[in-house]
Structure 1
Amino acid sequence: MKRFVVLMLFLLLSACGDDSVEDPSISKNPPTTEEEQPKEVIEEPEEVVAEPEPEPNKIQLSNFFMQDGATATYLGEGNEYASYRARTQWHNDYTVSIFEDNGGSTLLRTYRISDESIDLIQEQGEFYDEFNPTDEELQALPKLSTFLKLPVEAGENIDDWEVISVNDTIDTPFQVFKQVIVLEKTDDTGAIQRRYIVEKYGEIKREFIMNEEDIEFVVTSTLESVE
């Protein structure tokens, strides 16, 4: 009997310790430690490259010409050919021609514009044809002289011209202009030439002054209208 009781107790304990019986509340996989848990991937923000800020008061030299097709009339005094009409023709973003017709002949001037200067690359009188060159032909034209260059400051020299003022006020039949750039040169005879230049219009006035036997001889061409 005693052996029977011991045998029954052994079988009962074996049934309670059977590994095939699982407690549903116990997970098969042990909890992972903090180091073993997958880490959140944080993407680095893309580096934003700031656009370079424009230089304050930076002059755009292309602004010293009128729009394509604009025709300006200049009132002349002191000479019958001082009055003229000037037509603007843009060939591309950096090359422009001005056709000046004073009633006697037509003068063609072509300019190339860079970040630092406006250069005259062609000057031809008695020009009565259309002028439609290719970009390659324009690029091949050599510089003849410089019309304007940076920095535009009083006292600066541009070839034979000197910047006399950068903030002049000029009254014309068209309107009163402020912040006018005045260029001046004196030739070998002592005659004085002046150019008056302003943004959006270019040359608004030109002046020729000569003294002969104590008599001052003055010829001017001044902007009168723009079509």
Structure 2
Amino acid sequence: MSIGMIGKKVGMTQIFSEEGLSIPVTILQIGPCTITQTIQEPENKHTRIQIGYEYVKPNKITKAKIGHFKSKDLPCFKYLKEYKANNKDSINIGKNLNVGELKVGNYITVSGYSIGKGFSGYQKRHHFSRGPMSHGSKNHRQPGSIGAGTTPGRVFPGKRMAGQLGNKRVSIKNLKIVEINQNNNTLAVQGSVPGKKGNLIQIYKR
């Protein structure tokens, strides 16, 4: 079964291998998640699985979601996420998913929103080179020309300019699981994960 779960980023640290090498790792708290809905798509030969994460009081969500959970005799969840799976035999509504589904040495994809850095200029956002800083120069960090004149007479969409930096969905593939702690539902993956501490993240293992 393809495994998809939701969790939160705890932070970064380092662990030491048996050879004494320092390995930078990110600690993730994953699940427990509950399967809340399954939809079979025979034409695509896969099953869409909806999972819920983090219990919430009914007065904190919409009436539509309350009815969705009530019809399946499930508690209310704050976050919902849908994944695709090829094997439908081990998929049952109400089944709990946790880090026990994973193994040390597995490779996972982690998705989340990167840290927002506000409105940023050309140099910081796109790594443009600046102008000369000597006396008399009037172009230090200015944009300069952004396009031709009469023809085409406009700026093409997608032009790299100053603007919002960060706060975008980023996926990091093939992060190796180094350590799993089933008591705390945490796992350590080698490398960095997008977002700051406490950010919501989704993991996916093929």
> Which TM-score band applies after superposition, normalised by the shorter structure?
under 0.3
TM-score scaled by structure 1? 0.23
Question: Which protein, 1 or 2, shows the higher relative CO under an 8 Å CA cutoff with sep ≥ 6?
Answer: 2
TM-score scaled by structure 2? 0.25
